[in-house]
Each structure stands twice: as structure tokens, then as C-alpha cells.
Amino acid sequence: MNYSFDFSPVFAAWPMLLDGILGTLRMSSLSMVFGLALGLVFMLMRMSKLPMLRSIAIGYIELIRNTPILVQVFFVFFGMPALGIRLSGEQAAILAMTLNCAAYAAEIVRGGVQSIRPGQIEAGRALGMHSVDIYRFIVFRPAIRAVYPALCSQFILMMLNSSLMSSVSAEELTYFAQTLDSQTFRSFEIYFTLGVIYLAMSQFFSIALGLIGRVYFSYPAK
Amino acid sequence: MIRQFGWGEFLFLLEGARWTIVLSLLAFTFGGILGLAIALGRTSKWKSLRILTATYIQIFQGTPLLVQLFFVYFGLPLLGFKVDVWVALTIGLSLHTSAFLGEIWRGSIQAVPDGQGEAARALGIGYMHRMVDVVLPQAFRIGLPATISFLVNLIKGTALAALLGLTELTRSGQLMANITFQPLQVYGAVAVIYFFICLPLTYCSSRIERRLNAAR
């Protein structure tokens, strides 16, 4: 082995990497917010009394969960223009990740909602609470609290998955790393640094989101 | 004249799907062997071994699979190994698999009641037989649903091989979309093929999980 490691071109390009980090965070957090909202819709459909709504939701969830996110984003980015919908790389990335996240979020939150015992809801009704309030305070908040760790790992997973969006030229971290690679040919150093940055981000979010959860869900219950 | 996406083109995609399955099985086999070692290290009585394997798992779970694959594919040649894309992908996916299966199986080994291992020790059974004959068979049952759903994730993960240029299912789709100019149909068909590979496994996993829960 006679290769001399040289990290200087990687460090010299720090503004580019910072741009990439911001892109990654922007895309994954937007997709998480939209995905959670859409996921709640699918969860309600999945638990509805109407068999039609239920089968649509099940079909959607299973379709998304059993196909690779790379194929989903290719479908959105390359396939949708055929339907007359032309999206930029970043828009396609956010749309694909949102659709992907919605399926997982629906299943995660459903697990939480099903963990609420019926007695709780009946108690709320006995106290004369409005059904919206029952849903908000007795079902939804404790359900989210129960599945909060799973939602956090879903977010981290999505942040890691956003690296695939480089393949549709969405400007996130891996995209800039590949650009840098083609300019400097320092592949080893670049992908090593890239790995370290992703590792740091996932560790940071795992700790930070854990702390936020501790504070936000600190009310006594259970 | 532009080719239309028809039956012959669909068969071309199926041809690619074969390599998706081969790659998944290779990675699952090698990753499974290494993963068992990781799981045993993670539950060993030596602290240094536990920390080492925990770090290994953290690294693979905290970085994107794509970056891991790039690292192996572009990094190994620098160390003087000439690797073709198959070898690089098998190594990369196996390492990735070993970390995830290691963590899943650590959980299942720890879920086996302590009394089982203690009883075996009280009978004077050594580590090897205690693990192979007493703990692991029970852990296997507990870990089976999660293992199968990881296999689904692995199959989906092999799609990234397309970005390194291996002609598996997704790459076949890319090629076919470029030839036929019908990306909607082609990627739709690719998704359907993945769906029918993964769905039976997902179904199997949730069935076993329900049965295990019912037994409890």
C-alpha cells in the first residue's frame, strides 16, 4: 500500500459540505413533517369502519413498504413527467420521501393508538368529554408518546436514506460529496469524511430528539 | 424506431431480478455468519468485546448504506485489493447485514430467560453447548420475525447496487427506461416485481410474529 492520505481537499471544500448538510436536513425534516401528516390520514383510513378506505390504506402501505425507496424516487422523478408533472430533483426527493414516510408513520402511529386501552376512552366519555377532546388528549397524545422513540428512529432512517436522493441530483450531502469526488479523486478521504458526518448527525439527533421527548412528554401518566 | 415496453422487456427486468435475489442471498448468508459472531460478542462477558461490537453496530446503523457501499467500492482498491463490483457489493452488503442482524439477535439472545442459561451452567454445560443447544434455538424463534423483515430491507437495499453499476433489477429498469422512453411503465413494473418478491416475506414475518405473541 503506497497511498498517501490527504484530507486537505476535503476540508478545503467545507462550504460545499455545509450546504450539503443543510440540504439533507431540509429535505429530511420537510419530508418527516409532511409524511407524518399524510401518515395520520392513512392511519385513520386504515382504522376506519369502511372496508373500501381500509383496503386502499392497506394496499398503499404494503406497496410502499415492499418496494425500495430508490425505485420510488425514480418513479417520481423519471416517471411523473410522462403524466405532465415535472419536478426538480429536490421536489421529487421530498415527494418520494414524504410518500415513503407516510406508510411507515401510519403503521407506527397505529401501533400507538392500538395500545390505548378502551377503558380510557370510555372513562373520557363518562366524564362527558367531547369526542374531539377524547381523541386529542386520551388517544392521540399518549399514543404519540408511546411510539415517540420509533418515530425518532424513522426520522434518522430517513435522513440516512436521503443520501439516495443524490441519484436524482437533489442537492444534499452525498450529492456534493460525489461532485467533490469527481473534482479531486480523493474517494477514500471523501467517503470516510462523509461517513463521519452522517454518523455525527445520527448520533446528534438520536440524543437531541430523546431529550426533547423527555421534556415534552414529561407529564405524569401511564 | 423506439422500442415499446412489452413482454420481452418485462422478461429483461426479470433477468435482472435474478441478480437481485442472488445478491441478497449472498449478503444474507455471509452477513448472517458474521452477524452471529457480532451478537455473541455483544452478549459476551468481556466488556471490551461488548464495547467493540456495540461500536461496530453503531457505525453501520448510523451511516447510510450508500456511503458504506461507496466506501468499500472506492476504498478497497486504495488498500491494494482489486475488487470488481460483485465482490465490493457482497462485502459491503454483508458487513451492513452483519451489524443489523447482530443487533436483532443480541435482542433475541437477551430475551431468552436468564434461568435457561443458568440451568445449563448449573448442569456443567460449557459455553459452546450452552449457546448452541440451549440459548440459540430459543433465541432463533424469538428473532425470526425481525430477521425476516430485515431480509426484506436487505432485498430493497440491493437496489443501491444500481448506483454502482451492477445490472440487477433497478439497473435493468434504468436501462429499459432509457431505451423505451416509458419510465412510468418501466419503474412501475420494477416496483411490482420487488413487491412480489418482498410481500410473501413480509406476510410470513407478521404471521410468525402473531403466532409467537399468541403463544405468550
Residue B99 lies in a domain: yes
Region B169-191: mean pLDDT is 93
Is the torsion defined by CA of A186, A192, A198, A201 positive or negative?
negative
- Report the pLDDT value the prediction gives residue B78, as an integer from 0 to 100: 78
> In B, which residues are within 8 Å of A79 by CB distance?
183-184, 186-188
Residue B215 has pLDDT above 70, yes or no: no
Please give the Cα distance from B33 to B37 (Å, whole number). Answer: 7
What percent of chain A is predicted at pLDDT more than 70?
98
Where residue A88 sits, what CATH number does that domain have? Answer: 1.10.3720.10
What percent of chain A is predicted at pLDDT more than 90?
72
What is the three-state SS of chain B? CCCCCCHHHHHHHHHHHHHHHHHHHHHHHHHHHHHHHHHHHHCCCCHHHHHHHHHHHHHHHHCCHHHHHHHHHHHHHHHCCCCCHHHHHHHHHHHHHHHHHHHHHHHHHHHCCHHHHHHHHHCCCCHHHHHHHHHHHHHHHHHHHHHHHHHHHHHHHHHHHHHHCCCCHHHHHHHHHHHHCCHHHHHHHHHHHHHHHHHHHHHHHHHHHHHHHHHC
- Report the pLDDT value the prediction gives residue B213, as an integer from 0 to 100: 81
Q: Which domain holds residue B194?
A: 7-215
d(CA B194, nearest CA chain A) in Å: 5
Q: Which domain holds residue A65?
A: 13-216
Establish if A84 touches chain B: CB-CB under 8 angstroms.
no
Establish if A78 touches chain B: CB-CB under 8 angstroms.
yes
Region A201-219: mean pLDDT is 91
In tens, the pLDDT along B108-141 reads 999 999 999 999 999 999 999 999 999 999 999 9
In tens, the pLDDT along B28-48 reads 999 999 999 999 999 999 999
Q: Is the predicted ipTM greater than 0.85, yes or no? A: yes
Residue A113 lies in a domain: yes
Residue A12 has pLDDT above 90, yes or no: no
* Pairs of CB atoms within 8 A across A/B: 122
Q: Report the number of distinct structural domains present in chain A.
A: 1
Residue B1 lies in a domain: no
Region B183-211: mean pLDDT is 94
Region A40-47: mean pLDDT is 95
Residue B171 lies in a domain: yes
Residue A77 lies in a domain: yes
Residue A3 lies in a domain: no
3-state secondary structure of A31: helix
What percent of chain B is predicted at pLDDT more than 90?
83
d(CA A215, nearest CA chain B) in Å: 24
Q: Report the number of distinct structural domains present in chain B.
A: 1
- Report the pLDDT value the prediction gives residue B5, as an integer from 0 to 100: 83
